């Protein structure tokens, strides 16, 4: 199966955007998941709702919000451009931001479940032995929730690979610059004779999605088996 230069460019950009989006958002997802799983504070339900909001909002609405805030005339976008020379709107970096925001709730949810499944008595035992919070987190919590973190990261990566609505609203569909796999499929379907290219890209998307689901399912079983052994 031969791919054209435009198809390879869309695939390469999707991989770059998805990898950057998942790696950038993963540390924040771990922190938020920990806060939601192990702390109590006023407004916790509001924080949880805001985190999961991209899952229920139409992606176009999320994309418009990103354009409003991070566009060159937006409050955050103009600040970033003026002080750091960073432009997100209609750039691949903006596509990575949109993909990260859309995949963030999935990552948080998976990691939160892994933390909630962890027996707090393990941390309490380590605390009685003199281990500080940092040592407990690095030596006990992190290794035990590592499969959950990996699963969350993979789901976030897969979500980023399939993101379309927010991305095309925020960064448009510029070939070679912001045209990811979903955007390329849409573009090929709009022109006569583009069905073959669209079909090849659809097959690639299905392979990536299935691979992510299988790996996430396998990691989930590993988490369950590890918990049962405790």
Question: Tens digit of pLDDT for each residue in 147-180?
Answer: 788 888 888 888 898 899 999 999 988 888 889 9
Question: Sorting pLDDT into bands at 50, 70 and 90, what band is 105?
Answer: very high
User: What is the pLDDT of the chain when averaged over all its residues?
Assistant: 85
**Domains contained in the chain, number:** 1
pLDDT score for 125: 75
The single-letter DSSP state of residue 141 is: I
Domain of residue 201, CATH code: 1.10.3720.10
pLDDT score for 21: 94
Percent helix, percent strand, percent coil in the chain, to nearest 5: 80, 0, 20
Q: Is 15 exposed, middle or buried (0-12, 13-18, 19+ CB in 10 A)?
A: middle
Per the structure, the complete domain to which residue 85 belongs is given by: 5-229
pLDDT digits over 43-58, tens only?
889 999 999 999 889 9
Q: What 3-state class would DSSP assign to 14?
A: helix
pLDDT score for 197: 84
């Amino acid at each position: 199966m031969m791919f054209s230069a435009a198809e390879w460019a869309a695939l390469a950009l999707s991989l770059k955007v998805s990898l950057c989006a998942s790696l950038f958002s993963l540390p924040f997802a771990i922190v938020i998941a920990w806060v939601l799983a192990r702390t109590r504070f006023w407004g916790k339900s509001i924080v949880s709702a805001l985190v999961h909001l991209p899952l229920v909002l139409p992606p176009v609405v999320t994309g418009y919000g990103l354009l409003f805030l991070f566009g060159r005339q937006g409050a955050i976008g103009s600040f970033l451009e003026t002080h750091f020379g960073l432009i997100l709107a209609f750039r691949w970096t903006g596509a990575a931001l949109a993909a990260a925001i859309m995949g963030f709730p999935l990552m948080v949810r998976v990691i939160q479940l892994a933390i909630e499944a962890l027996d707090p008595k393990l941390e309490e035992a380590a605390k009685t032995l003199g281990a500080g919070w940092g040592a407990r987190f690095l030596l006990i919590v992190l290794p035990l929730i590592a499969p959950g973190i990996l699963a969350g990261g993979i789901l976030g990566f897969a979500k980023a690979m399939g993101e379309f609505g927010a991305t095309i609203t925020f960064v448009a569909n510029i070939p070679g610059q912001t045209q990811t796999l979903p955007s390329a499929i849409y573009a090929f379907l709009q022109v006569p004779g583009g069905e073959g290219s669209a079909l090849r890209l659809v097959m690639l998307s299905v392979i990536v999605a299935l691979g992510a689901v299988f790996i996430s399912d396998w990691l989930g079983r590993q988490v369950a088996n590890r918990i049962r052994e405790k």
